[in-house]
Amino acid sequence: MTSFSDLGLAQEILRAVSEHGYTTPTPIQLQAIPAVLTGQDLLAGAQTGTGKTAGFTLPLLQRLISLSAEAGINQRPAATSIRALILTPTRELAAQVEESVRTYGKYLPLSSGVIFGGVGINPQIKLLKNGVDTLVATPGRLLDHISQGTIDLSHVKILVLDEADRMLDMGFIRDIKKILALLPGKRQNLLFSATFSTEIKDLADKLLNSPAMIEVARRNSTVEVISQKIHPVDRDRKHPLLAHLIKTLNWSQVLVFTRTKHGANKLVEQLEKAGISSMAIHGNKSQSARTKALAEFKDGRLQVLVATDIAARGIDIDQLPHVVNYDLPNVPEDYVHRIGRTGRAGAGGEAISLVCVDELRLLADIEKFIKRKIISEVVVGFEPDLNAKPQPIQLRSQGHHPSSRSGTSSGQRRSPTVPGNKSAPRRTSLGQGTPGAVSTNPSRPYAGSAPSTTSRRSSSGNRGRG
């Protein structure tokens, strides 16, 4: 079995990796690290949670050491300049990536920093004044610094686009093009994306020069170790069902996704009334509030973190046991990113989706995208009304959102979106005939027949549109 020591990394990097508890590279790391070390461009596709951050930060640090040695061991970045630039779509992801850079580079004579919106710009100006080896940034805030002349991109040797598909989805393409125009022509480019699309391929064709290509899992797939299921439920009974599941199954750490900021705030109020500690994280929250909520959730002080899709790519918690889609996302790719917050680096996890009659078409789109049917389990006591009529859901506008940095330079969405127990995942089984019991018999929720008093089980692909 290959170890990190077989990949050509410096002893200082290996020491930091070992102290972090890692010994064996994941598949994306095993392929990406040698490819990056050659100095060539790279296009990498890996499902979320596979360790791709280390897949580019480790060889990036090694490359910076090598470049310093080639130019003179004491070479430091010039004033306001940087040598490696990592672009990410959200504040949380930027902070997470920069933390990885610091963790793996703790024994190296290299500096790093992170800049994003939602916080004061003056400390960032001070950080950049003396130059930084590796800078992690959101596109909007980086352009703010460029416009103020507080950063020099002419010395960049390595560019990384992390979560490139998300950046395009959030409308950053024009910002990215502006940034690319200011970079030196001779540089190494690394593009990482959880999913591939026509837009990503087009960007790669324009950005990358004869790149190595790595795809460690089936395109647009979900992590196999994640147990996925849906609970059909009426739209106005979602929050009682969620509270019931959390209490009955003793969930101690649950990440819940809602479609809107208002929905996230409302759900927090409902869960708090039920005696469940929870906080919301979304684009309207201040950066300090978002940082506080995420920190309390990570260290176990907060039972439930309710988030909009801004957090789908920026939360990295080892052994997060449960992710709940309170609302299904209107974009199938977002389902992959949401549930990828659990099942990290090979650990098990459980993804639950609460689905009402309004969301059946969204569910069908998700199942088509991931190329699998998701098991459906009706919870006794929360059976949906099979005669319920679907109500319209406001879908996100088609195509890319207009690029604007007014109030969104930190990486939040450019336009409105649609409205623990850390042990191994277990089956949700509370006994038949008891309120809250999980279904076990075949049925077709929303297919037009009334539910029986016993619990039922079905494949989601067998239900009608109601």
Write the DSSP assignment of 218-251 as a string of letters: STT---TTEEEEEEE--GGGHHHHHHHHHHHTT-
Query: Which residue, 320, 312, 213, is CA-closest to 264?
Result: 312
Is the C-alpha dihedral spanning 79, 84, 88, 94 positive or negative? negative
**188 vs 196, more confident:** 188
CA atoms in the 13 A half-sphere facing the CB of 157: 18
pLDDT of residue 2: 82
pLDDT of residue 423: 35
Phi and psi torsions of 310, nearest 5°: -60, -25
- Rounded CA gap, 303 and 280, in Å? 12
| Percentage of the chain modeled with pLDDT above 70 | 76
pLDDT higher than threshold 80 for residue 258: yes
Q: What is the mean pLDDT of residues 367-391?
A: 92
- Rounded CA gap, 425 and 427, in Å? 7
**DSSP SS3 for 393:** coil
- Rounded CA gap, 28 and 214, in Å? 8
pLDDT of residue 367: 93
Q: What is the mean pLDDT of residues 85-94?
A: 90
The model's pLDDT over 22-46, given as tens digits with 9 standing for 90+, comes to: 888 988 899 999 999 999 999 998 7
Q: Tokens standing for 354?
A: 């609460």
Q: What is the mean pLDDT of residues 452-461?
A: 34
| Percentage of the chain modeled with pLDDT above 90 | 49
Number of Cβ within 10 Å of residue 300's Cβ equals 12
Query: Which residue, 204, 196, 198, 201, is CA-closest to 47?
Result: 196
Q: What is the mean pLDDT of residues 147-168?
A: 92
Q: What is the mean pLDDT of residues 83-108?
A: 92
* Residue indicated by tokens 């024994």: 107
Poorest-confidence range of 147-151, 223-227, 303-307, 374-378?
Answer: 223-227
**360 vs 72, more confident:** 360
pLDDT of residue 338: 84
pLDDT of residue 22: 85
pLDDT of residue 459: 35
Whether 11 and 182 have beta carbons less than 8 Å apart is answered as no
- Rounded CA gap, 74 and 71, in Å? 9
To which CATH superfamily is domain 226-462 assigned?
P-loop containing nucleotide triphosphate hydrolases (3.40.50.300)
pLDDT higher than threshold 70 for residue 80: yes
Query: Which residue, 6, 35, 9, 54, is CA-closest to 345?
Result: 54
pLDDT tier, 223 (very low <50, low <70, confident <90, very high otherwise): low
Q: What is the mean pLDDT of residues 309-313?
A: 64
pLDDT higher than threshold 60 for residue 434: no
pLDDT tier, 400 (very low <50, low <70, confident <90, very high otherwise): very low
Q: What is the mean pLDDT of residues 207-236?
A: 80
pLDDT of residue 64: 94
pLDDT tier, 327 (very low <50, low <70, confident <90, very high otherwise): very high
Of 49-58, 177-186, 283-292, 333-342, the range with the highest mean pLDDT is 177-186
Q: What is the mean pLDDT of residues 326-354?
A: 81
pLDDT higher than threshold 50 for residue 3: yes
Query: Which residue, 187, 136, 185, is CA-closest to 162?
Result: 136
Question: Nearest 5 degrees, angle CA 374-CA 277-CA 284?
Answer: 80
In which element (H, E) is residue 124 found?
A: helix 122-129
As a whole number, the mean pLDDT across the chain is 80
Q: What is the mean pLDDT of residues 128-134?
A: 92
* Residue indicated by tokens 């050659």: 38
Whether 336 and 197 have beta carbons less than 8 Å apart is answered as no
Beta strands at 456-459 and 375-378: parallel, antiparallel or unpaired: antiparallel
User: Which residues of the chain does CATH 3.40.50.300 include?
Assistant: 4-215, 226-462
- Rounded CA gap, 144 and 150, in Å? 9
Q: What is the mean pLDDT of residues 177-182?
A: 94
pLDDT higher than threshold 70 for residue 401: no
pLDDT tier, 364 (very low <50, low <70, confident <90, very high otherwise): very high
- Rounded CA gap, 440 and 302, in Å? 32
In which element (H, E) is residue 83 found?
A: strand 82-87
pLDDT higher than threshold 60 for residue 346: no
- Rounded CA gap, 284 and 412, in Å? 9
Question: Nearest 5 degrees, angle CA 193-CA 30-CA 206?
Answer: 35
pLDDT of residue 74: 53
Q: What is the mean pLDDT of residues 128-137?
A: 94
pLDDT of residue 98: 95
Of 125-134, 210-219, 329-338, the range with the highest mean pLDDT is 125-134
Query: Which residue, 441, 432, 437, 397, is CA-closest to 417?
Result: 397
pLDDT higher than threshold 50 for residue 465: no
pLDDT tier, 143 (very low <50, low <70, confident <90, very high otherwise): very high
**353 vs 340, more confident:** 353
pLDDT of residue 113: 96
pLDDT tier, 321 (very low <50, low <70, confident <90, very high otherwise): confident
- Rounded CA gap, 142 and 135, in Å? 10
- Rounded CA gap, 338 and 334, in Å? 6
Domain covering 4-215: architecture: 3-Layer(aba) Sandwich (3.40)
pLDDT of residue 255: 92
Number of Cβ within 10 Å of residue 75's Cβ equals 12
Record the pTM. 0.63
Left if phi > 0, otherwise alpha if psi is -120 to 50, otherwise beta: which for 117? beta
Residues 6+ apart with CB under 8 A from 154: 81, 182, 183, 184
